[in-house]
Structure 1
Amino acid sequence: MKRLTMLSNQLRGLTHAITRYPLTAAFFLSAAVINTITIHTGESYINLILACVVGAVLCAALQAAYERFFNKSSARLLLMGIGIALTLAYYLIIKAAPELSEEIGIRTLVALLALFFAYIWLPVIRSKISFNESFMAAFKSFFHSIFYSAVIFGGCSLIISAIDLLIVDIPSKAYAHTANIVFIVFAPLFFLSLIPIYPRKRDAAKNTELDDIIERAAFCPRFLEVLISYIIIPLTAIFTVILLLYILLNIQGSFWTNNLLEPMLVSYSITIIIVYILASRLQNKFAALFRLIFPKVLIPIVVFQIASSIMNLRETGITHTRYFVILFGIFSACAGVVMSVVPVQKNGILAAMLIAFSAISIIPPVDAFTVSRMSQENMLKNVLVQNSMLKDNAIIPNSSIKEEDKKKIVSSVEYLSMMQYTNKVVYMPKDFHVYEDFYNTFGFEAYGQPEHTRYVTVYLKPEEPINIAGYDVLTRTSINLDETSNSKISDIEKAGVKYTLKKERKGNQYGIILRGSSDEEIIRFSTDEIFSRYLNKNENKSVLSTDEATFTTENDKAKLAVVVQNANMNISSNNQAYYNAEVYVLVAIK
C-alpha cells in the first residue's frame, strides 16, 4: 500500500510539473504532436522537433534560474519571453540551412548538454544545497523516469499486441505512436516532477519540510551506494592500473600515434568525474580513497593524451572530433585540479566549467567547426602551394607529388567535402564531388584506384507525368550491360496480329526490339543512346525533366519511346563501361 501511495503521489506530481514548467510541457507536447504527424504521413519535420526540444530544455533552465534568483511574477514572464525568443531564433537559424547537417546536429547536442547542466547547477548556486545533491537528485530522477517509461511502454505494447492478436487488427504504427507519447511527453515530465524545488537565494529562514524533500531526493540509496563503492570504483581502479601500465610501456612508441586510445580516455575521464560527484557524499573507505587518489591520477593521464593529440595535428590538421577531444582533455585536466584542491561541496565549479567549455566549442569564431574548417583549408592550401598546384585561385592537377602530400590532400578534401565546406573554398571547383571530381581536379586517385572511374546518376521524379497519347501500350523493363542473353519484355497484340517486345544483345550492342509474328524486326532502339547522352552531362547527379528522360525512334511501321526512370553509369579511363537503368517503354504500331 505504501508503494502504491508513493506511485500515486509521483503521478500526481505530473500535474505540478506542468504548472511549474508550462513552456517546457508545451514544447514537449508540441514535439509529440509534430512527431505524430511524421509517423502518420512519413514526412520529416525534424527542424521543428529539434526546436521544440531545445526550447523545452532552455525553458526548464530558465525556470530553475527564476526559482533560485527571483520572486516576482514579472521576472518569470520575462524569462519565459526570452525562452520563446531564443527558441524561435534557433528555429530560424536551422531552417535557413540547406539541410540538417552534422554540424547543426553536434552544435545542438552540445548546447542541450550545457543547458541540462545549467538546469542542475542554477538552483544551487551559492546555496546551502550543494551541486552534489542536485546532481544526485537529477541522476536518480533520470533513471526513475527511464524505468517507469520503459515499463509503461512495455505494458502498452503487450496490450496492443493482445488486442491485435485476439480481437481486431491494429496498425503497426500504434507502437510508434505509443512510444512517442511515453518517451517524448511522459518521460521528461515525470523526470521534472521528481526534481525538488530548491530554496531561493533570499530565503534565509530554515524550511524543515523543504529540507526534508530535498534530502529525500538527493539521498543515495543503499543499492546505488554498493554499486558505486564496491563495484564501479574497484573496476575503475583496475582499469586505471592497466591504462597507466600501457602508457608507461609505450611512452616512447605507439602511445603518441594511437588515435584509438582517444575515445577510451574520453570515456575514462567522464567516468571518473561522474563517479567522483556521485561518491562525494558517501561515507566509506572506498569512496574516500577514490576522492583522494583518482583526481590526481586523472591529471597526468589526460595531459599525456592532450600532448599525443596535439602531436598528431601536424599530420592530420584539426577536425571537429579532435577539437572536442582536446578541449574535453583540457576540461578534464582542469577538473582534476579542481577535484584535487577544492572541497567536494564546491563541485558546482565543474558544472560551470563544463558550460563554459561547451559555449567555447560551439560559438564562433573559436568553435570546433570554424577552427577545423580553417585548419583543413590552410593545410590543403599549404600542400598545393608547396607543390605548385595552385595558381590564380585555380588548382593545377599534378600526379607526381610525394605520397605524403597526396595523403594530406586526400584527408583535407575528404573532411571539407564531408562537412560540406568545399563551396566555401574559393579555389575549389563549384559543386565539387569528392568521388567523381577528385581525379580531374588534383590529377591522382583519392583511394589509390588503378584507373579513374566517372560515375553518373540521373533519375526522373516519381510524380512526373508521362504522356502516353498516340501509343498503344506502356510497359516497364530494366537494362543491365552485364546481361548476356536475350529476354522477352512483353507480348503485344493489335488488330489480330501478335508482336513481341524483346531485349537483345548482339556483340557490344544492346537494344530494345519489336518483332512481328514471323520474328522479323520491325523497329529497334539502341540503349547506347541513353548512356551516351547522360555521360556527356556536366553534372554527376541530376533530376531529369520528361524531355531529358525521353528517347524516341520511328519508322513507317512503328514508333518506340523509352522514358528513363533512373540510370546509373560509370566509365573508367580505359573506356570500360558499366550501366544499368529502369525504363518505361511505349509502343505504337502503325
Structure 2
Amino acid sequence: MKIKDKSFYRLNAFSNTFFRYPVSILFFLFLSLYVIRGNRLNYYSFHQGPIWAFTIGGVLTAVSQTLYEKLYLGKQFARIILHLIAILFTLAYYYFFLRHYPDFSWFIMMRFDALLAASIVAFIWIPTIKKSSLSFDLAFTVAFKSFFSSLLYSVILVIGFFIIFGTYTFLIAELDYVIFADLATIIFCLFAPICFLSYVPDYNLSEGNVSDQPDGPLTVPKLLRFLVSYIIIPLLTVYTLILMLYIVPNLAGEFWIDNLLEPLLISYAVIGFLTLFISHTFDTLSTKYFKSIFPKVFLVIASFQTLASIIKTQEVGLTPGRYYVILFGVFSIISSLLYSFSIRKKYLVPVLFIVLTTLSSIPPIDAVTVGLNSQIRSVESVLEKNNMLENDRVISNKNISTEDQKKIIEGLRYIEDYDALDRISWLPEDFAYYGDQFETVFGFDRFQSQYDEPSTVDGALNPPYTSLQLNTNRSTPLDISSSNQLVIIPFSYDQYVQPIIQTTPLQIEDISYNLLVTVEEDNFQIDLTTNRDENIISHNLSFMLEENYKFYDTIQDLPLTDLTFTEENDQAITTVIIENIEILDKESYSGSLYLLIDLKD
C-alpha cells in the first residue's frame, strides 16, 4: 500500500470511528472532561468513582457496537437497545459499587480491573462467533497491534506537545503547569481510545477480503513476527526452564511451604497466553515448537502451583490476591488442556476467561468478598481458640502464643487494607488498626513480633526492623549550659548507594574544626577533628546497628535517658541524643540526632 493511499485509508478509518462508536467516544469525552476538572481540585475533594464508570461505559458500548455489527447489522433498533443496555449496566455499576467510595479503594480497583478485562476480551471475541472464519488468535493479534500503535502515537504526541509548551514557557511566557496534565489527559483519555478503535476493522468488510493485502487490517506486522519468534519465545522458554528447575527438585517439601512461585503465576500466565495467541497467527520454526510444547509444560506448572495455593489457603485463609491466583490457575489448567489435547475447542478459552473474570467481580462470590470473609473467619477462629470472643466482643489476652498474635495482626491488617473493618461486628465502632486501641482491645502490641518471621498471610519475608524515636509527649529539660556547640545531624545509609563521609565545618571560640559523620553498613561514627585532620574525639554509635543492642528489632518511643550517649577523653566530651532512627536489617538506616560538644580547657 502506497504512503498516500495508506494515509487516506488511516484518515478515513479514523473519521469512520466517530460513526461506528459515537456513544463510546462520548463516554471517553466525559472521562477527559472529568479528569481535567479533577486536575484543578484538591485530591481529597475529587471523587474518583466517575473515572471508572466512564471507562467501563466506553468499553461496554464498544462491545455493544461489536455485537451489533456481528449479529444485528442493519437493524438500528437493535443497535439502540444494545447501547441502552450498556449504559444502564454502567449506571448500575456506578450506583451500587462506586458512589460510596470517593477515594482510592482496593475494593473498587479489583472489581474494576476484572470487569475491564472481561469487557476487552469480549470485545475481541465477539467477531469470532457464529461460524466465523476469523479465529480468536487473529482477532486478538489485531487488537494487540491496534493497542501498541495507538500507544505509540499517543506517547509521541505527548512528548511533542510537552516540548512545544515547555519551550514556550522557557522562552516567552510562563504557562500554568496544569496545562501539561490537561494535554496528557486529552491524549490518553480521548485520542488514544479513538485511535485504538480506528485500527479495529469492520470484520464484515475485512474478513476474507483484505486480509491478504500486504498492509491490510488483518495482517501481522513483520516486526511483531520477529519479536515473537526470535526474542519473546526464546526468553519465555528460558524462563519456563528456570521455573521447572525450581519446581521439580522441591516437590518433596519446600515447594508446598514457601510458595515463592505464587506471585509470578498470574503475570507468567498472561505473558504465556498472549504469546500463544499471537504465535497461532503465523508459522515459523520457533512458533511451531512453542505451540506444541508450551501448553503441556504450562499445564504442569499451573497444576502444581494451583494445588500449592489451595493448600496454603487451608493454613492461612483465602486472600483476594490468592483468590485470583487460584482463579487464574483454574483458567490456565483448562486452557492448557484445550490447547494440548483438543485444539479444535480452543475457541472456548476466551469464553472461559470472560465467565471466570466476570464471576470474580459479582458479590457474594467476588474476590474481595470471599477473601475478606475468609480472613474474618480466620481471625475469629484464633480468637475463639484462645477464648477471646464472648457475647460478640473481644476479651483482651496478652498471653496467647506469638503465632496466634501474628495471625490476628496479619488478618486484621489485610482487612484494614481493604477498608473493611466495619464489617466485623465484634470490633468497637471507633476501632482503628493503626491507632492506639489495638493493644487495649487485644491485650498485645501489634508491633511486638511483626518483623520476626515471614508474614503468616502473604508469605513475604520481612527483615528485622527497628524504629526508635524520642518521646515528645511530655516536656523534657535539656541542660546545654556547659556545651560549646549544639549540632543537629541528619544521617542516612542505603546499601545501594555509595556511602560518603559527611563533613561539616565548625567554629568554636574562633577556632575552626571539622565534624565528620561516617555512615556505613557496620560503622556509624562521629569524629571531631582540627583543620589539620588531628582527631580530637571519636564517638562510635555502631552498637545501635548490632543485634545484641537491647532495642534492636523494636518499634517504640523512648525517654531521653535511653537515647542519650556520652563519650569523653582528655580533650572533649560529646553527648549524642538520638531524635529518631530507623534500621532495616543490613539494608539501610536513617534518622537524625543532636550532638553537644564540650571542649576541655
State whether residues 392 and 426 of structure 2, in contact with CA within 8 Å, keep that contact through their aligned partners in structure 1. Answer: yes
Do structure 1's residue 446 and structure 2's residue 446 form an aligned pair?
Answer: yes
Return the offset for 1:197: 0.7
User: Which has the higher mean CA deviation after the structures are superposed, 37-46 or 144-153?
Assistant: 37-46
State whether residues 210 and 217 of structure 2, in contact with CA within 8 Å, keep that contact through their aligned partners in structure 1. Answer: no
Q: How does 1:415-430 map to 2 (within 5 A)?
A: 415-430=414-429
State whether residues 110 and 368 of structure 2, in contact with CA within 8 Å, keep that contact through their aligned partners in structure 1. Answer: no
Q: Deviations over 1:63-91 (max 9, x none)?
A: 11111111310000111111221111122
Normalising by structure 1, report the TM-score.
0.73
State whether residues 134 and 207 of structure 2, in contact with CA within 8 Å, keep that contact through their aligned partners in structure 1. Answer: no
Return the offset for 1:405: 1.5
User: Which has the higher mean CA deviation after the structures are superposed, 430-439 or 321-330?
Assistant: 430-439
Return the offset for 1:129: 0.9
Q: Name the CA distance, whole Å, in 2 between partners of 1:77 and 1:362.
A: 27
Q: Give the 3-state SS of the residue equivalent to 2:69 in structure 1.
A: helix
State whether residues 394 and 441 of structure 2, in contact with CA within 8 Å, keep that contact through their aligned partners in structure 1. Answer: yes
For residue 29 of structure 1, what is the amino acid of its counterpart?
Answer: L
Q: How does 1:518-529 map to 2 (within 5 A)?
A: none
Normalising by structure 2, report the TM-score.
0.72
For residue 369 of structure 2, what is the amino acid of its counterpart?
Answer: T
CA change 1:139–1:347 in 2 (3 A) is farther
Do structure 1's residue 130 and structure 2's residue 135 form an aligned pair?
Answer: yes
Do structure 1's residue 83 and structure 2's residue 83 form an aligned pair?
Answer: no
Return the offset for 1:376: 1.2
Q: How does 1:172-187 map to 2 (within 5 A)?
A: 172-187=177-192
Q: How does 1:99-498 map to 2 (within 5 A)?
A: 99-126=103-130, 127-199=132-204, 209=209, 216-343=216-343, 346-435=345-434, 436-448=436-448, 481=475, 484=478
Name the count of aligned residue pairs: 464
Return the offset for 1:363: 1.1
Q: Deviations over 1:448-502 (max 9, x none)?
A: 179xxxxxxxxxxxxxxxxxxxxxxxxxxx999578589xxxxxxxxxxxxxxxx
CA change 1:217–1:397 in 2 (3 A) is same
For residue 439 of structure 1, what is the amino acid of its counterpart?
Answer: E
Tell me the residue number matched to 1:53.
55
Return the offset for 1:121: 0.3
Q: Name the CA distance, whole Å, in 1 between partners of 2:362 and 2:208.
A: 43
State whether residues 210 and 218 of structure 2, in contact with CA within 8 Å, keep that contact through their aligned partners in structure 1. Answer: no
Q: Name the CA distance, whole Å, in 1 between partners of 2:174 and 2:5.
A: 36
For residue 310 of structure 2, what is the amino acid of its counterpart?
Answer: I
For residue 80 of structure 1, what is the amino acid of its counterpart?
Answer: H
Q: Name the CA distance, whole Å, in 2 between partners of 1:59 and 1:480.
A: 61
Q: Name the CA distance, whole Å, in 1 between partners of 2:241 and 2:261.
A: 15
Q: Name the CA distance, whole Å, in 2 between partners of 1:218 and 1:101.
A: 39
Q: Name the CA distance, whole Å, in 1 between partners of 2:326 and 2:118.
A: 18
State whether residues 393 and 426 of structure 2, in contact with CA within 8 Å, keep that contact through their aligned partners in structure 1. Answer: yes
Q: Name the CA distance, whole Å, in 2 between partners of 1:420 and 1:177.
A: 31
CA change 1:432–1:10 in 2 (3 A) is same
Tell me the residue number matched to 1:17.
17
Return the offset for 1:282: 1.6
Q: Name the CA distance, whole Å, in 2 between partners of 1:260 and 1:482.
A: 49
Q: Name the CA distance, whole Å, in 1 between partners of 2:208 and 2:315.
A: 61
CA change 1:573–1:302 in 2 (3 A) is farther
Q: Deviations over 1:220-278 (max 9, x none)?
A: 22221111112111111112111111111222232222233212232222222111110
State whether residues 277 and 347 of structure 1, in contact with CA within 8 Å, keep that contact through their aligned partners in structure 2. Answer: no
Return the offset for 1:289: 0.9
Q: Which runs of 4+ in 1 moved over 6 A?
A: 570-574
Q: Name the CA distance, whole Å, in 2 between partners of 1:265 and 1:484.
A: 57
CA change 1:175–1:440 in 2 (3 A) is same
CA change 1:342–1:157 in 2 (3 A) is same
Q: Give the 3-state SS of the residue equivalent to 1:364 in structure 2.
A: coil
State whether residues 131 and 346 of structure 1, in contact with CA within 8 Å, keep that contact through their aligned partners in structure 2. Answer: no
State whether residues 154 and 192 of structure 2, in contact with CA within 8 Å, keep that contact through their aligned partners in structure 1. Answer: yes
Identity of aligned residues (%): 34
Q: Name the CA distance, whole Å, in 2 between partners of 1:229 and 1:257.
A: 36
State whether residues 213 and 219 of structure 2, in contact with CA within 8 Å, keep that contact through their aligned partners in structure 1. Answer: no
State whether residues 34 and 45 of structure 1, in contact with CA within 8 Å, keep that contact through their aligned partners in structure 2. Answer: no
Tell me the residue number matched to 2:65.
63
CA change 1:47–1:485 in 2 (3 A) is farther
**Structure 1: stretches of 5+ with no match in the other structure:** 201-205, 451-477, 487-569, 580-590
Q: Name the CA distance, whole Å, in 1 between partners of 2:208 and 2:259.
A: 53
Q: Name the CA distance, whole Å, in 2 between partners of 1:213 and 1:80.
A: 33
CA change 1:301–1:479 in 2 (3 A) is closer
For residue 408 of structure 1, what is the amino acid of its counterpart?
Answer: K
Q: Give the 3-state SS of the residue equivalent to 1:446 in structure 2.
A: coil
Return the offset for 1:209: 4.0
Q: Name the CA distance, whole Å, in 1 between partners of 2:439 and 2:298.
A: 46
Return the offset for 1:421: 2.1
Q: Name the CA distance, whole Å, in 2 between partners of 1:334 and 1:154.
A: 43
Q: Name the CA distance, whole Å, in 2 between partners of 1:324 and 1:138.
A: 24
For residue 110 of structure 1, what is the amino acid of its counterpart?
Answer: A
Q: Name the CA distance, whole Å, in 2 between partners of 1:483 and 1:57.
A: 64
Q: Name the CA distance, whole Å, in 2 between partners of 1:482 and 1:114.
A: 61
Q: Give the 3-state SS of the residue equivalent to 1:281 in structure 2.
A: coil
Return the offset for 1:392: 0.9
Q: Name the CA distance, whole Å, in 2 between partners of 1:309 and 1:389.
A: 29
Q: Give the 3-state SS of the residue equivalent to 1:434 in structure 2.
A: coil
State whether residues 298 and 336 of structure 2, in contact with CA within 8 Å, keep that contact through their aligned partners in structure 1. Answer: yes
Tell me the residue number matched to 2:46.
44
Q: Give the 3-state SS of the residue equivalent to 2:201 in structure 1.
A: coil
Q: Name the CA distance, whole Å, in 1 between partners of 2:398 and 2:323.
A: 32
State whether residues 30 and 54 of structure 2, in contact with CA within 8 Å, keep that contact through their aligned partners in structure 1. Answer: yes
Q: Deviations over 1:32-66 (max 9, x none)?
A: 11111111344524222221111000100111111
